[in-house]
Structure 1
């Protein structure tokens, strides 16, 4: 039975749970927790009924940094980032119409894992990744065209991991490694 005080607390939202799950996934990707520990904590997060139970599941994880997520959006036109620019931990790119060009070859990448979430209507996207990057595109759904990417034969294990997810309706994603 819950106490009267717990009954007055706001109900956990899906955003609260998703944030906790993302923090656990990031900690696992950065090798801060083991696979078994992540599984156990995910169980806690998914069955938590109060904010206290949710907080206990992520208590020993590093605090989230507020500047680790950035969103670039445009209704139409071109979205382009190139040269020297700071890549956030999570980059969300949203465009209804237009092309997306992201060049990470000279960008400052401070995180071992970078998640790029593409939400694109029409128009293609081209992403240039650093020469030593490891690219994962399993989380991307495409509607009309496919993904063009050929993995490098020899990526260094100390390069950043670029995970691309999201949805593209009518357009092709081209990913290539920088030559230099």
Structure 2
């Protein structure tokens, strides 16, 4: 008998290798911090050099850990969603960090980016479909990549289009579909109509 091949567990996010996009996001944050007066030019130069040489997400996080004011979103933090028994939905206006982990549990997770604020070029979404599955909704014009998700028994269904508009983020999925599976899609017609109503209402409020 041959021993079963074990799939290695992914390293914790902070230990994973940083991409060029990750480094660019931190460089932009450091430059903004200098413009805001939070860093002098000597500190800025030192941190920029470290950012460009950073190997992991942890290396980058250390460079901006003291630059975030109360209530100010930190792109390098991780948002963890646990579906548990009742399930959980993240929707409406929310600030997107660089990494999101979704554990579906028994109730499932819905991760809705259609009204989210995202200034990052790339967001990693680590999905664990478990029993109830994970649904990820991305706006029209955003792109998703699901090649790194193990399908499990529930499978992976990617209903997004490959056409990515300039300036929009790439949602890169990793993880496992589990029993419940993973679905990635754009808004459905009913959801689009609701979004359009909200946009019109916001425009009227701003014009008042």
Q: CA separation in 1, counterparts of 2:16 and 2:132?
A: 31
Cα distance in structure 1, aligned partners of 2:148 and 2:166: 21
Q: Structure 1 pair 95/152, CA: closer, same or farther in 2 (3 Å)?
A: closer
Q: Scaled by the length of structure 2, what TM-score is found? A: 0.57
- Size of the aligned set, in residue pairs, is 138
Q: Alignment partner of 1:127: what SS? A: strand
Q: If the length of structure 1 is used for normalisation, what is the TM-score?
A: 0.65
Structure 1: gaps (5+ residues): 1-13, 33-57
1:96 partnered with 2:105: yes
Of the candidates 21, 24, 36, which is equivalent to residue 29 of structure 1? 21
Matches of residues 1-180 of structure 1 in structure 2 within 5 Å?
19=14, 21-23=16-18, 25=19, 28-29=20-21, 32=24, 59-61=50-52, 63-64=60-61, 65-66=64-65, 67=74, 68=76, 69-152=78-161, 154-178=163-187, 179=192
Q: 1:87·1:107 contact (CA, 8 Å) conserved in 2?
A: yes
Residues 122 and 168 in structure 1, CA contact (< 8 A), matched pair in contact too: no
- The structure, 1 or 2, with the larger RCO (C-alpha pairs under 8 Å, 6+ apart) is 1
Q: Structure 1 residues 31 and 126, CA, compared in 2 at 3 Å: closer, same or farther? A: same
Distance 1:95 1:154, change over 3 A: closer
4+ runs deviating over 6 angstroms: none
